[in-house]
């Protein structure tokens, strides 16, 4: 009898210890989930502020593209999608074609160096060219000559390449608009560390087609926050269930 009583007592202690550990684990998870949810809420407000600032830049009056003294201070958060203007002469012989997928289908972006009057250069994404018109002869009518003005959106360089595709400068195959790599491959100097996405001003012959910049930001932070908070609530419910069963067993 005494031995049986000891076994039952030890079993009750083990069960109580297990419930205590489970309660502690659930409370810890609840705190972690609440922290993660709160972090996502902070990210949500940051993203909404970013979207508002970018929208303001896109629809603001165009300003001169940053000159050499301002190049070092350019950042993605502060300057990308700024509406800018630039004037110069295009060097069509040193254009590059960058793989593109747009609302108009697959094709290429036509990036051409613009020699500015201050002696510097900036790459201009003049727009989209369908895959079946990528040969220079098929779009020659659109090659602007002489002093030309460009209006568009300032974009930050896209180094390294695209997803699963690396740029091949030696083979003149490009999958991202990597300003530094393009400048090196084409022997360009004094090149701005950004490029300009030209607006929808129509080019002679209809090509290239500008104004196809997609300005959008993935914003799932509220969904993530609600998910973390829901998991926190489930953890608290778990604590309640464990404590209730513990009280009913006594």
pLDDT in tens, the chain (250 residues): 455 556 555 655 667 778 888 888 989 999 999 999 998 888 887 777 767 777 778 778 999 999 999 999 999 888 999 999 999 999 999 999 999 988 888 999 999 999 999 999 999 999 999 999 989 999 999 998 899 999 999 999 998 776 668 899 999 999 999 999 999 999 999 999 999 999 999 999 899 999 888 777 677 888 888 999 999 999 999 888 888 877 666 5
Q: What is the pLDDT of residue 42?
A: 87
Tally the residues of the chain.
250
Q: Hey, which residues does 108 pair with through a beta bridge?
A: 99, 129
- What pLDDT does 48 receive? 75
- Which pLDDT belongs to residue 233? 93
Total-model pTM: 0.70
| Ramachandran assignment for 80, one of left (phi > 0), alpha (psi -120 to 50 degrees), beta (any other) | beta
Q: Which CATH architecture has domain 82-206?
A: Beta Barrel (2.40)
CA–CA distances in Å: residue 212 to residues 5, 26, 36, 125, 215: 80, 50, 37, 10, 9
pLDDT tens for each residue of 145-199: 899 999 999 999 998 776 668 899 999 999 999 999 999 999 999 999 999 999 9
- Interval 79-89: pLDDT, tens: 999 999 999 99
Residue 33 φ then ψ, to 5°: -65, -40
- How far, in Å, CA of 82 to CA of 87, rounded? 16
Nearest to 98 by CA among 84, 90, 109, 113: 109
Mean pLDDT of all residues belonging to the chain: 87
Give the pair of three-digit tokens for residue 33: 């989930």
Q: How far apart are CA 54 and CA 79, in angstroms?
A: 9
pLDDT at 250: 57
The CB density around residue 122, as the number of other CB atoms within 10 Å, is 25
pLDDT for the residue 155: 94
CB atoms within 10 A of CB 41: 17
Q: Is 106 exposed, middle or buried (0-12, 13-18, 19+ CB in 10 A)?
A: exposed
Largest CA distance in the chain: 107
Give CA separation, 133 vs 99, 100, 140, 208, in Å.
Answer: 13, 13, 10, 10
Residue 220 pLDDT: 85
- Check residue 219 and give its pLDDT: 76
Nearest to 50 by CA among 38, 58, 60, 61: 58
CA 144/CA 133 separation, integer angstroms: 17
Question: How many whole angstroms separate alpha carbon 54 and alpha carbon 122?
Answer: 22
Distances (CA, A) of 238 to 24, 27, 40, 227, 245: 11, 9, 24, 16, 11
Distance, in Å, from the CA atom of 190 to the CA atom of 122, rounded to the nearest integer, reads 8
Q: What angle separates helix 221-248 from helix 2-59, to the nearest 10 degrees?
A: 160
């Amino acid at each position: 009898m005494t031995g049986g009583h000891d076994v039952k007592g030890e079993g009750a202690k083990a069960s109580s210890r297990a419930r205590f550990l489970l309660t502690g684990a659930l409370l810890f998870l609840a705190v972690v989930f609440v922290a993660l949810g709160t972090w996502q809420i902070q990210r949500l407000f940051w993203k909404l502020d970013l979207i508002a600032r970018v929208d303001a830049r896109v629809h603001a009056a165009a300003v001169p593209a940053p000159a050499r003294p301002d190049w070092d201070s350019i950042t993605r958060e502060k300057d990308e999608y700024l509406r800018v203007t630039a004037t110069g002469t295009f060097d069509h012989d040193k254009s590059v074609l960058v793989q593109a997928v747009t609302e108009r289908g697959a094709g290429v972006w036509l990036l051409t160096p613009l020699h500015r009057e201050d002696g510097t250069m900036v790459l201009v994404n003049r727009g989209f060219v369908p895959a079946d018109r990528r040969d220079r002869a098929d779009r020659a009518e659109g090659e602007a000559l002489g002093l030309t003005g460009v209006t568009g959106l300032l974009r930050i360089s896209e180094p390294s390449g695209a997803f699963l595709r690396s740029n091949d400068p030696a083979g003149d195959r490009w999958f991202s608009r990597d300003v530094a790599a393009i400048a090196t491959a084409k022997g360009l100097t004094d090149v701005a560390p950004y490029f300009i996405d030209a607006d929808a001003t129509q080019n002679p012959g209809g090509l290239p087609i500008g104004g196809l910049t997609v300005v959008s930001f993935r914003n799932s932070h509220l969904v993530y926050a609600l998910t973390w908070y829901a998991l926190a609530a489930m953890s608290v419910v778990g604590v309640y269930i464990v404590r209730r069963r513990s009280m009913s067993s006594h």
